[in-house]
């Protein structure tokens, strides 16, 4: 069967939530029994998101096959069953890289290599490659209509309709309705943005209009008239409390019905009860817990998108609201630790890079270990936990990581010998899914209910095995290892309510409909701690 394509563009301003919109369309189509794939086309020149600063571009999402991608792929995987890989995020850099390689290989047979047709053809080929022979391939074009750099992508999707036909392609444009202070709603920017699209030959079929509140029918009619879109295809997307509500609001507005009609797909009614129940659990929690989230990029929510979401999922699993108390590890001086962490029912030390704030993280681990507060360390968080244990329990006071202090005999965390001398920073880390074998009888094996797992990685440094006997002799449990290369994957402490750290990123596989067991268990432990904390007379207050 011919795969149908939905192309999503955005206009007026950036940051309207095209990623969530695409993901939510995925949820709706799956709920109608269709298979979907999702893909993001990014107009920037970087080959991938791996070398971009999280402050600027948000989290780098790692796929199963180890691609470092845009955070929208995280939304796609959380909202759907699509299994994404490096084919599903394509940048201008990758397109030019492919074209230039072909040029050097002589594949263009002496012709002048040009944006039209060669670059455009390459984009079209990538779109087809990413479609995975599913029922509907959802393709999001990054950036905003009118940007110089997104033009080749827009030309490519324009040609796609020409190549594969009207009933196999759908153009959805996401735009903003501007609110004036006096309460007036302005549609002009939307008209201009659609006008810009039409200039390049794309007439959108459906408009998704972001608004603060409800869009009156009168305004919908006006938008329809001036943009040449059916009034039923003007979909209102009001601000919602939780992003997981979006598929439900889209459905109420009839978006999936419209899509099915335009693409001539006769499917059953959507089955959304499970999703609605999940949103209900999220929005009507029975109680709450507070987690101290210790990291470096805490000022920008996007930098830890998947981790934030996974903690929310842990809350959904326990019908609890999870309040995240962001703590910048640079502020965690000796004096500050207790003040900043004492209200937390659980402490999470987040992934990260670089020496800044590292000592604050070590102090946060020490506090969690000594005060017996549930502790979860992820990636750098595991490395900090091993350093803390080595220094304060295993008698290696100068223990550290090679990332912060290269070439020292007491680096309990260091680069693997085979990685030394590796050049460049792009794509050179240990990336993607690797298996781990869990030790029977450990907490982590109990949490997973299995002893063979597979989780995604993004790191360069490792626990040095030569120190493991000393760490183990002083009580640290190495609870998970990579089976072949014998790398430390997870650690835990026995005499503690919940002290666990992993070298991998479990947050990347957590979904609201399928919360990751580690996050569900951590939040449960934090809640138990809260209960016991309440019953004890508080030692700090």
Separation between Cα atoms, residue 233 and residue 247, nearest integer Å: 16
Nearer to ligand GLN, 221 or 356 (CB): 356
Structure-token pair, residue 290: 């507070």
Is the bond leading into 466 cis (omega within 30 degrees of zero)? Answer: no
Which one among 153, 376, 434, 461 touches ligand GLN, defined by CB under 6 A? 461
Structure-token pair, residue 71: 């955070």
110: left (phi over 0), alpha (psi -120 to 50) or beta: left
Nearer to ligand GLN, 446 or 466 (CB): 466
Nearer to ligand GLN, 194 or 380 (CB): 380
What is the distance, to the nearest Å, from the Cα of residue 403 to the centroid of all Cα atoms in its chain?
25
Asked if 488 interacts with ligand GLN (CB under 6 A), we say no
Separation between Cα atoms, residue 268 and residue 357, nearest integer Å: 53
Contact 498, 374 (CB under 8 A): yes
Nearer to ligand GLN, 170 or 384 (CB): 384
Residue 465: CB minimum distance to ligand GLN, A: 15
Structure-token pair, residue 115: 């944006």
Does residue 57 have an active-site annotation? no
Contact 293, 326 (CB under 8 A): yes
Asked if 391 interacts with ligand GLN (CB under 6 A), we say no
Catalytic residue (one of 90, 160, 379, 502): 379
Asked if 66 interacts with ligand GLN (CB under 6 A), we say no
Nearer to ligand GLN, 129 or 299 (CB): 299
Residues within window 177-196 making contact with ligand GLN, judged by CB under 6 A: none
Total binding residues toward ligand GLN, as defined by CB under 6 A: 10
Asked if 313 interacts with ligand GLN (CB under 6 A), we say no
Give the SS3 label for residue 20.
helix
316: left (phi over 0), alpha (psi -120 to 50) or beta: alpha
DSSP 186-229: E-HHHHHHHHHHHHTT---SEEEEEESS---HHHHHHHHHHHT-
Which one among 142, 351, 357, 506 touches ligand GLN, defined by CB under 6 A? 351
Asked if 62 interacts with ligand GLN (CB under 6 A), we say no
Listed ranges 183-191, 453-461, 506-514, 532-540: which one lies at the site for ligand GLN (CB under 6 A): 453-461
Residue 322: CB minimum distance to ligand GLN, A: 21
Which one among 326, 353, 404, 533 touches ligand GLN, defined by CB under 6 A? 353
Nearer to ligand GLN, 217 or 428 (CB): 428
Q: Which of 42, 56, 121 is nearest to 86 (CA)?
A: 42
Does residue 388 have an active-site annotation? no
Listed ranges 209-217, 334-342, 346-354, 384-392: which one lies at the site for ligand GLN (CB under 6 A): 346-354
Nearer to ligand GLN, 309 or 403 (CB): 403
* Block residue for tokens 């189509």: 29
* Block residue for tokens 């209900």: 280
Separation between Cα atoms, residue 210 and residue 223, nearest integer Å: 13
Residue 374: CB minimum distance to ligand GLN, A: 20
Structure-token pair, residue 78: 């959380």
At residue 500, what are phi and psi to the nearest 5 degrees? -145, 140
DSSP state for residue 354 in the 8-state scheme: S
Residues within window 361-380 making contact with ligand GLN, judged by CB under 6 A: 379-380
Which one among 458, 496, 516, 530 touches ligand GLN, defined by CB under 6 A? 458
Listed ranges 69-77, 109-117, 216-224, 458-466: which one lies at the site for ligand GLN (CB under 6 A): 458-466
Listed ranges 169-177, 181-189, 338-346, 455-463: which one lies at the site for ligand GLN (CB under 6 A): 455-463
Asked if 404 interacts with ligand GLN (CB under 6 A), we say no
Nearer to ligand GLN, 348 or 379 (CB): 379
Asked if 352 interacts with ligand GLN (CB under 6 A), we say yes
Asked if 459 interacts with ligand GLN (CB under 6 A), we say yes
Strand pairing partners for 433?
456
Nearer to ligand GLN, 234 or 379 (CB): 379
Residue 458: CB minimum distance to ligand GLN, A: 5
Does residue 446 have an active-site annotation? no
Q: Which residues lie closer than 8 Å to 512 by C-beta, 6 or more apart?
A: 78, 244, 278, 282, 309, 312, 313, 316
> Please, what's the b/e burial string for 486-498 (b: 16 or more CB within 10 A of its CB; e: otherwise)?
ebbbbbbbeebeb
Separation between Cα atoms, residue 52 and residue 90, nearest integer Å: 15
Residue 403: CB minimum distance to ligand GLN, A: 5
Which one among 403, 414, 455, 489 touches ligand GLN, defined by CB under 6 A? 403
Contact 37, 131 (CB under 8 A): yes
> Contact positions toward ligand GLN, by CB under 6 A?
351-353, 379-380, 403, 458-461
Residues with catalytic function: 379, 505, 507
């Amino acid at each position: 069967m011919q795969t149908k394509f939905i192309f999503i563009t955005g206009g007026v301003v950036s940051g309207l939530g095209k990623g969530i919109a695409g993901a939510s369309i995925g949820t709706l189509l799956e709920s109608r029994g269709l298979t979907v794939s999702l893909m993001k086309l990014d107009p920037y020149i970087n080959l991938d998101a791996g070398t971009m600063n999280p402050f600027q571009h948000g989290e780098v999402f790692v796929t199963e096959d180890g691609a470092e991608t845009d955070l929208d792929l995280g939304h796609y995987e959380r909202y759907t069953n699509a299994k994404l890989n490096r084919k599903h995020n394509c940048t201008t850099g990758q397109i030019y890289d492919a074209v230039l390689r072909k040029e050097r290989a002589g594949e263009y047979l002496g012709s002048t290599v040009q944006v039209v047709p060669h670059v455009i053809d390459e984009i079209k080929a990538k779109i087809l490659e990413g479609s995975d022979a599913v029922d509907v391939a959802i393709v999001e074009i990054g950036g905003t209509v009118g940007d110089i750099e997104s033009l080749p992508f827009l030309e490519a999707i324009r040609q796609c309709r020409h190549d594969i036909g009207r009933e196999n392609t759908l153009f959805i444009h996401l735009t903003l309705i501007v609110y004036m202070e006096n309460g007036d709603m302005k549609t002009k920017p939307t008209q201009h943005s659609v006008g810009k699209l039409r200039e390049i030959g794309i007439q959108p079929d459906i408009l998704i209009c972001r608004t603060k509140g409800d869009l009156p029918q009168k305004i919908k009619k006006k938008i329809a008239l001036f943009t040449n879109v059916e009034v039923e295809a003007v979909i209102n997307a009001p601000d919602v409390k939780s992003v997981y509500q979006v598929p439900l609001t889209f459905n109420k507005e009839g978006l999936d019905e419209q899509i099915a009609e335009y693409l001539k797909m006769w499917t059953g009614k959507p089955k959304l009860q499970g999703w609605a129940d999940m949103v209900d659990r999220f929005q009507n929690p029975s109680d709450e817990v507070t987690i101290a989230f210790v990291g470096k990029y805490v000022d920008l929510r996007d930098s830890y998108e998947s981790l934030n979401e996974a903690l929310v999922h842990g809350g959904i699993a326990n019908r609890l609201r999870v309040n995240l108390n962001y703590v910048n590890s640079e502020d965690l001086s000796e004096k500050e630790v207790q003040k900043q962490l004492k209200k937390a029912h659980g402490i999470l030390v987040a992934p990260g890079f670089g020496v800044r704030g590292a000592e604050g993280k070590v102090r946060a681990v020490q506090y969690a270990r000594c005060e017996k507060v549930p502790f979860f360390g992820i990636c750098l968080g595991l490395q900090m936990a091993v350093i803390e244990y080595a220094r304060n329990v295993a008698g290696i006071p100068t223990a550290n990581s090679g990332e912060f202090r290269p070439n020292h005999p007491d680096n309990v965390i260091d680069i693997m010998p085979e990685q030394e001398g590796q050049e460049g920073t792009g794509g050179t880390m240990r990336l993607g899914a690797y298996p781990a074998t869990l030790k029977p009888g450990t907490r982590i094996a109990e949490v997973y209910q299995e002893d063979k797992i597979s989780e995604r990685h993004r790191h360069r440094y490792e626990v040095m095995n030569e120190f493991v006997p000393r760490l183990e002799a002083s009580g640290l449990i190495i609870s998970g290892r990579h089976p072949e290369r014998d790398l430390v994957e997870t650690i835990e402490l026995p005499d503690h309510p919940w002290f666990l750290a992993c070298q991998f990123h479990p947050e990347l596989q957590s979904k609201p409909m399928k919360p990751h067991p580690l996050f569900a268990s951590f939040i449960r432990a934090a809640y138990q701690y809260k209960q016991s904390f309440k019953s004890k007379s508080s030692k700090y207050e």
